[in-house]
């Protein structure tokens, strides 16, 4: 478990899965021969043979008044996922979350940076053959644009298991608040639009007692994209806009005292973007 402090706010990482390799489908340009020369990626983010290390993890943001889980991973018991290994998971995520100090009933806010399969899974859990909200006392915050995009996708393609098992049940339970991409969640917590990976994608800004952090969501999947923002993910709905967002974000964060916490970053998970001649890296 890793935990960071930003003023009066803590951010705690609860890992569901970590992997090395098998990620080429997500970042096709990040081959061993292209990532190994970027030496700072080792050992946290790339292994000795040049395979990408990535994590699927939730980040719990605790403020003096709120307990927020940012992104809810894959979830147990889900079926029909595009990646075979993601089907019918039986992982200890909820026990790990409780062990970190956050029993599911204590979460008051669920925040989805976007509505992809690996960010909404634990929105629901299987109980008596039905998908029920995992966090029954929480408001689930989803971007209005993002939600409408996926709802329309589902209307065009009725077979949309992720929407059906992980989004619709919490919406139908009346737990969803549709919010704008610059929504203020709490005094210390604000959304920031980082579009391109999906049409309504947001990152999460934390500011408290003069300290700052940013939870990326998937506008950067992997730290190699800090060096190479032109490497788009195969999951980016608009690769050009996604590249512009990464370039702009890198410029805004570079050499600033802002802790960048990567939603899929393995190893150290967080660091500062620094300029190194005409190159950029994540200093951990
Ligand atoms: Zn993701």
Query: What pLDDT was estimated at residue 26?
Result: 86
| Cα(148) to centroid(ligand 1), Å | 19
| Cα(264) to centroid(ligand 1), Å | 7
Find out whether 58 and 75 touch, Cβ atoms under 8 Å.
no
pTM over 0.85: yes
| Cα(50) to centroid(ligand 1), Å | 21
| Cα(119) to centroid(ligand 1), Å | 6
| Cα(277) to centroid(ligand 1), Å | 31
| Cα(56) to centroid(ligand 1), Å | 7
Range 106-114 average pLDDT: 98
Task: Please state, in angstroms and rounded to a whole number, the distance separating the CA atoms of residues 257 and 215.
Answer: 14
| Cα(220) to centroid(ligand 1), Å | 9
| Cα(221) to centroid(ligand 1), Å | 7
| Cα(218) to centroid(ligand 1), Å | 6
How confident is the model over 75-97, as pLDDT tens digits?
999 999 989 999 999 999 999 99
How confident is the model over 167-184, as pLDDT tens digits?
999 999 999 999 999 999
| Cα(116) to centroid(ligand 1), Å | 6
């Amino acid at each position: 478990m890793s935990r960071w402090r930003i003023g009066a706010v803590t951010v705690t990482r609860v890992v569901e899965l970590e992997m090395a390799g098998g990620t080429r489908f997500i970042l096709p340009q990040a081959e061993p021969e292209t990532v190994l020369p970027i030496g700072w990626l080792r050992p946290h983010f790339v292994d000795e043979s040049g395979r990408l290390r990535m994590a699927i993890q939730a980040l719990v943001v605790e403020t003096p008044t709120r307990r927020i889980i940012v992104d809810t991973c894959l979830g147990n018991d889900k079926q029909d996922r595009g990646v075979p290994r993601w089907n019918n998971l039986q992982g200890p995520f909820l026990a790990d979350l409780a062990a970190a100090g956050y029993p599911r009933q204590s979460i008051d806010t669920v925040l989805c940076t976007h509505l992809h399969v690996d960010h909404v899974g634990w929105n629901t859990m299987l109980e008596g053959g039905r998908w029920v909200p995992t966090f029954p006392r929480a408001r689930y915050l989803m971007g209005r644009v993002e939600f409408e995009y996926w709802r329309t996708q589902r209307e065009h393609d009725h077979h949309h298991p992720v929407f059906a098992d992980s989004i619709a049940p919490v919406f139908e339970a009346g737990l969803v608040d549709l919010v704008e991409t610059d929504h203020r969640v709490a005094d210390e917590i604000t959304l920031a639009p980082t579009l391109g990976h999906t049409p309504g994608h947001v990152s999460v800004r934390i500011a408290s007692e003069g300290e700052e952090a940013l939870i990326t969501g998937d506008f950067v999947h992997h730290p190699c994209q800090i060096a190479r923002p032109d490497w788009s993910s195969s999951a980016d709905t608009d690769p050009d806009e996604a590249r512009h967002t990464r370039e702009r974000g890198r410029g805004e964060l570079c050499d600033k005292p802002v802790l960048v916490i990567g939603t899929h970053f393995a190893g150290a998970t967080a660091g500062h973007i620094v300029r190194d001649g005409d190159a950029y890296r994540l200093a951990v």
